[in-house]
Amino acid sequence: MRGSRLVTTERVVCFASPGSDDAVDQLDAAMDAHDATLTVKPVGEPLDPDDWIAGKTLGITVGGDGTFLAGVRAFAPRSIPFFGVNTGTLGFLARTDPADLAPALSEMFRGEASVSDRQRLRVVGPGVETTGINEVTFELPMPEDPVGRKVCQLEVAAGGEYLGRYEGTGLAVATPTGSTAMALSADGPLEHPANNRTLQIVGLHTNRLGFRPVVLDADHEVRVAADSPVRVSVDGGRPELEADAADTFTITGADEPAHLVWTSHDASFFAALAAKLDWGSRRDDPAPPRPAARRTGGQSAASHGTQARETRARDAAREAVCAAGETVNAAFRRIRRGEADPAAETAEVARSSGRILAATLGRAFPGVDVQSADGAIRAVDADGGDSREAPDSSEDLVWLAAPLDGVANFGRGNPYHAVSLALVDDGPVAGAVAAPAVDEVLAAGRDGGVTRGSIESDTDGTSVGTTDCAALDEATVLAEGTPTEDPVAALPGDPEIRRLGSPALALAYIAAGRADACLLADVHPATVAGGCSLLQAAGGRVTTADGESFRLQRVDTGPLSLIASNGPLHGALLAASNSS
C-alpha cells in the first residue's frame, strides 16, 4: 500500500489505553486541521461497522505495544492503515512520540507518509483459529510437583519436510515483527520487518545445541505436535490455550498483512533497536538522518535541477498511477464481492483517484496543473497548498489525467479499466497507464522506451514494444470511444475487431504489442494522453483521420477522433479511412 492513498482519509479511529488522555487531547486538537471525523474508543472495544469506511479510514493506537497489538487485531483484517503513538514504556511497535503527532498527521494527510506491510501469522488447531503479528508459542506448563517434568518434546514439520523433535521448555514460531520479542530472547535472528514475508522457528531453552533457528517463506505450512500437554499463546495474549498431548497445530502466513504507517517523525527500525535494547556502543553519537519516506518522484524543488525533467516526470507518472490504481482496485474488489453499490462506488473512487494523482504529482511538479476531462482536479505544491509560483510551473506545462477510464466497465465488474496520465508541453513529456485489475503498469519518458511492471512493485519491470504487423488481414484492431458511425465498417479484409471500453487501455495495448491499431472516436485529450505518451515512446503513430500528426498540448480542445497504430499498419488504416 502506498502512502499517497492517505490523502483520501475521511475517518480516523483511535484505540486509546487508560492514562492516555493528554495524547488523545493532542490528537483531537490536531484533527481540527483536517477534514476527517475522529472516533476514540477504549482499547479492547470492538470496531463497529459505522466506525470506518473502506479505503478512507486511518487507524491510530495511543498507548504501549499491548494497545498496538489490539489495533492490529482490529485494523489489519479490514486493510486499514494505522500507526501507534507511544505512551507506554517500551514502544517497539508504537514509535510516534505524542509531541510529533500533529506534524506526523499533516504528512499523512498530504500523502507523504510511507506504508509498509507487516506479515502476520495464522494459527489453526484444536480450540483455536486466530491470527497474530508477533508469534505463537508452545510451552510446557510448570509442574505443581517441584520434581515434575520441566521439558517437553515437540515434533515439527515445515513445508512437508520433517525438521525434528525439539526438546526444551517450548517453541516459538515468529513473524519478522516478532523477531524482536520472544524469539529474540531465545537467541533468534533479528529480521527487518517491513515487507518481509517470512516465519522463523526458534526453540525455547533447548538442550540440544544442534537446533538452530530456522527461517522460512511465510507460504510454508509449519506443523507442531507435542508429546505432552502444552500452553499455546498467540502474541502473548490471554487466555492461553491448554492443548492436550498429540494435538497438532498448523501455522502459516496470514493472507492479509498489517499496513503500518511511518512518517519522517518516527524512529527507524534499527535506531529504535539501538535505543530500546541499549546497544550503547554509539550512544553519544548524533543520530544519522532518517531516510525519507518512499515517494518516487516526490523530490524537493532543490533537487529539480539534478535530474532530467523527462525522467522525473516518468517516475512521478508511474508512482501516481500506481498509488491511485491501488485505491481503484480495492474498490473494484468490493464491487465484485457485492459489498458496495456500483454506481456510488464508481463516482467515489474516481474522485479519490483524482485526489491521489494530484497529491503525488504536486510533490514532484509543484505548481503544475492536473487536468482531467471534467476540468482541473487540483493544482498543488509540495506542501499541499495551491501554488502557481514553482520551479516547473509554466503555461505550456500540464498534467492530463484520466483518474478512471472505462467507468462503465468498472461499475460492471469488468477488468478493462485504467488510470492514465501524461505530462504535456508541446507533445507528451512522459506518461503512464495502470491497469489495476491485472496489477500492471506501463510507463515511458519521451523517446525513452516503454516498460511494463507491477503496480505493487517498486521496480520498472521489462521493456516492451509495438508489433511489426503491416497487413490489415492479420491485424488486431481496437475500436474505442462513442462514434456516431461504426469506425470499423470501412476496414477492408477481415481484421480482428475488439472493443475494450477504455481508450487509455487500448493505446497501452498497442504500445505493449498486444494489439496493432486503434480507431478512436470522440475521445477527450486527457483520456488518451497517457496512452499517446506510451505509443510515442514505443515508436507508434497517432494521427487525425486525414493523416495529420497529432500532438497533445495544453490548449483546450473538444472531443477528438484519431487513428493510432504500431506504425507499419498506419498507411493501410489511413487509406481505408479516406476511401470510406
d(CA 440, CA 431): 14
**Helix 21-30 / helix 101-109 crossing angle, nearest 10 deg:** 40
Phi-psi region of 446 (alpha: psi -120 to 50; beta: other; left: phi over 0): beta
Q: Distance from first CA to last CA of the chain, Å, rounded?
A: 49
β-pairing verdict for 57-63 and 82-86: parallel
Question: What single string gives the DSSP state of each residue in 361-379?
Answer: HHHHSTT--EEETTEE---
Q: Give the start-end residues of each E strand in 313-397.
A: 370-372, 375-376
Whose CA is closest to 156, among 172, 140, 134, 177?
172
List CB contacts of 89: < 8 A, sequence separation 6 or more. 64
Residues noted as catalytic: 65
Q: Which of 413, 466, 458 is nearest to 437 (CA)?
A: 413
Q: Which of 87, 120, 115 is nearest to 20 (CA)?
A: 87
d(CA 387, CA 349): 25
Tell me how long the chain is: 580
**Beta-bridge partners for 96:** 85
Rg (C-alpha) for the chain, rounded Å, is 28
